[in-house]
Structure 1
Amino acid sequence: MKFIIQRDQLIAGVQDVMKAISSRTVIPILTGLKIEAKQHGITLTGSDSDISIESYIPAEENEIVNVEQIEEGSIVLQAKYFPDIVRKLPEKTVEIESDDNLKVTIRSGKAEFNLNGQDADEYPLLPKIQTEDSFEMPIDLLKSMIKQTVFAVSTMETRPILTGVSVKLEDNLLTFVATDSHRLASREVPISNANTEFKNIVVPGKSLNELNKILDDTEEQVEISVTNNQILFRTKHLNFLSRLLDGNYPETSRLIPEQSKTKIQVKTKELLNTIDRASLLAKEERNNVVKLATQGNNQIEITSNSPEIGNVEEEMSIQSIDGEDLKISFSSKYMIDALKAIEYDEVTIDFTGAMRPFIIRPLDDTSILQLILPVRTY
């Protein structure tokens, strides 16, 4: 195998696939990074058997040559050393060559590294997903769906299914739901002309976080396909494959209250900042509890009290209050996470009493929903 490649292209591809490589894998060869050279371009692969990422660098694109003098072949290189070597090479191009004894030479300018490679035939084959049953959506929309839900997954392994995001596509409506049983985040997006439907699939939160980091904020499309235990996200130069979590996701729709007793409308940023200030004194407590109380003339009061430290009170004018008076306590962290995820200037919050879950939605947009369970305070 031999080729000469633009160094910045190689660095970008290596950075993407490194997100799937773990030093703690049980399959030794997976600590390496696979390089495959074909006449049309170079494919880099990294995997930890939960997530697999393939990054493709075409030999030529838009009349720009990325890779030249290609002699086909493949090799696996130690991921521990290769990325740092490539990053620190002196010139703009890199020549990579391997011989029959799996010895690899990396040259750039006057620098030359010799590494021991591993046989690429021993690298596990990635499952091939049939892409007929797939649908497409804009990348930036997928990223916002991930951002608005994935923070609410559970970090506790006691219920593994809750460490993932439930994804379903029915009647051309794509829904993401995440919950850790104390809060819930959901987002719906209509998908035009999807030729597939699925439900009961749960994608690990960790996979979606990594995918979100790799995808560029563009309006280009990502193609998504699902099989019984894998999901594939495919863009022009990237294949991102994740295993799915086993088990049934809890039925969350019954958690969402049908009617509300108190409804407030408030500027997102102002409420966020007020709760953030109130939480400064609640840091020591496990839940960072703050209290919200409605007052007359469109005022609410946000308070927090830590007996050992002190207390904080802040009154705040809001757009409107409808319904019964209310006093409620909740985790400031959950509230801050939820408000940050809603990228709208104003939100409505529907309460159904001090001990029932409440719902935060952007004004005039029902596709985004955040639900939080209150905290009992005596």
Structure 2
Amino acid sequence: MKFLIQRDRLIQSVQDVMRAVSSRTTIPILTGIKIVAANDGVTFTGSDSDVSIESFIPKEEDGDELVEIKELGSIVLQAKFFSEIVKKLPMDTVEIEVLNQFQTVIRSGKSEFNLIGLDPDEYPHLPQISEDNILKIPTDILKTLIRQTVFAVSTLETRPILTGVNCKVENGKLYCIATDSHRLAMRTAAIDTQSEETYNIVIPGKSLNELNKILDDTNEPVEIVITENQVLFRTKHLLFLSRLLEGSYPDTSRLIPNESKTEITINTKEFLQAIDRASLLAREGRNPNVVKLTTIGSGLVEISSNTPEVGKVVEQVQSQAIDGEELKISFSAKYMMDALKALEGLEIRVNFSGAMRPFVIHPVNDESILQLILPVRTY
């Protein structure tokens, strides 16, 4: 194998596939990156057997030559060393050549590295996925869906199913739901599909976080293929494969209250900043990070926190409107701030159905996104 390649594209592809490489794998060859030089370009693959990422660099793109293939072939190189080397090479062009016994030479300018490679035939094959039903969604919308839900997954392994995002496809819509049983995030978006089939899967939150980091902010479509135990995301030059979590996701529709006793409409940024300030003194004590919200008339909302051994803070925020009963409620400042950062829009609507019932946050005039938080008992 022998080819010349543009260094910046090489670095980008290696960084992308490195996201799937784990140093803690029990399969030694998976600590490496597989490189395949074919007639049409070079493919890089990284995998930890749960997530596999493949990045393809074509021979040319938009009239620019990216790769010059001199000899076809493949090799697996230790990811840790290879990724560090390519970042620090001196010139814009890199030559990679495999000699006998998997000895690999990496040249750039006057710099030359010799790496001992591994047998590419021992690298596990990515599973072949039949592509009967392809779903399509613009990349930027998929990134938004992930950003607005994935933060609410559970980080505890006690209920593994809650460490993933529940994705349902029905009637041309994709529903994404995440909950850690103290809060819930839900977002819906239209999806392009030729099939009537419905899906209900759970994708690990870790996988979606990695996918979000390597997707570009474009409106180019991402193709999604779902099988019984895996999901494939594919863009022009990227292939991202993740296993699915096994088990059934809890029915979260029962959590969402369908009545409201108090409704507050308020500026998102002002509300977020007031809660952020109140949380500064709420980090210690019996109920760490808890702030209290009280309606005090004239459309005013009081945000406060009180930690006896530290001090207290009180701040009033003017809302656009308060409808319904008076309210006193306590909640996690972190959960509220996470939810507000995920929402889009200048104003939000918060619907409360009692001091100890979950409350729901929507952007004003947008029902496609919903955040739900359980209050905290403070007495």
**Fold match (TM-score > 0.5):** yes
Compute the displacement of 1:195 (Å).
2.3
Deviations 1:204-256 (A, max 9, x none): 00000000011111111100110001000100010000000011100000000
Q: Output the CA distance in 1 between the equivalents of 2:190 and 2:256.
A: 21
* TM-score, normalization by structure 2: 0.98
Deviation of the 1:270 alpha carbon: 0.5
Q: C-alpha distance in 1, partners of 2:152/2:280?
A: 22
| Alignment partners' CA distance in 1, 2:5 and 2:281 | 55
Q: CA deviation at 1:199?
A: 3.0
SS of 2:101's equivalent? Answer: coil
Q: Does 1:310 align with 2:289?
A: no
> In the alignment, is the contact (CA less than 8 A) between 1:135 and 1:196 conserved in 2?
no
The structural deviation recorded for 1:193 is 3.8
Aligned position for 2:190: 190
Give per-residue Cα distances to partners, 1:315-359, cap 9 Å, x unaligned.
Answer: 111000000000000000000000000021100000000000000
| Residues 37 and 70 in structure 1, CA contact (< 8 A), matched pair in contact too | no
| Structure 1 residue 192 displacement after superposition | 3.7
SS of 1:189's partner is strand
Q: Give the Å deviation of 1:133.
A: 1.1
Give yes or no for contact 2:133–2:193 (8 Å, CA) kept in 1.
no
Matched to 1:62, the amino acid is D
Report the Cα distance in structure 1 between the residues aligned to 2:91 and 2:325, rounded to whole angstroms: 70
What corresponds to 1:338 in structure 2?
339
Q: CA shift at 1:296, angstroms?
A: 1.0
Question: Contact between 1:133 and 1:196, CA under 8 Å: does it hold in 2?
Answer: no
Question: 2 CA distance for matches of 1:196 and 1:122?
Answer: 40
SS at structure 1 position matched to 2:100:
coil
Give, in whole Å, the separation in 1 of the partners of 2:247 and 2:350.
32
- In the TM superposition, what are the counterparts of 1:222-301 in structure 2 within 5 Å? 222-285=222-285, 287-301=288-302
- AA aligned to 2:316 is E
The number of equivalent residue pairs is 378
Which residues in structure 2 correspond to 1:81-120 (within 5 Å)?
81-120=81-120
Q: Which residue of 1 aligns with 2:366?
A: 365
SS of the residue 1:219 aligns to: coil
TM-score normalised over the length of structure 1: 0.98
The CA distance in 2 between the partners of 1:51 and 1:69, in whole Å, is 29
- Residue identity matched to 2:312: N
- Tell me the C-alpha RMSD between the 2 structures: 1.0
Deviations along 1:304-325, one digit per CA (max 9) or x if unpaired, are: 0101101100011100000000
Look up the SS of the partner of 2:341 in the other structure.
Answer: helix
Checking the alignment, whether the CA contact within 8 Å between 2:183 and 2:371 is kept in structure 1 is: yes
* Alignment partners' CA distance in 1, 2:139 and 2:176: 15
Residue 356 in structure 1 maps to residue 367 in structure 2: no
- In structure 2, the partner of 1:202 is 202
More moved, 325-334 vs 66-75: 66-75
Q: Percent identity?
A: 64
Change over 3 Å in CA distance of 1:48–1:134 after alignment to 2: same
1:297 Cα deviation after fit: 1.1
Residues 305 and 313 of structure 2 are in contact (CA less than 8 Å); yes or no, is this contact kept in structure 1? yes
Tell whether the 8 Å contact from 1:39 to 1:71 is kept in structure 2 after alignment.
no
Partner amino acid, structure 1, of 2:310 = I
* Separation of aligned partners in 1, 2:351 and 2:194: 33
Cα separation, partners in 2 of 1:301 and 1:194, compared to 1, 3 Å: farther
Moved more, 33-42 or 93-102: 93-102
The aligned amino acid for 1:81 is F
Q: Is the 8 A contact 1:134 1:196 kept in 2?
A: no
Name the residue aligned to 2:131.
131
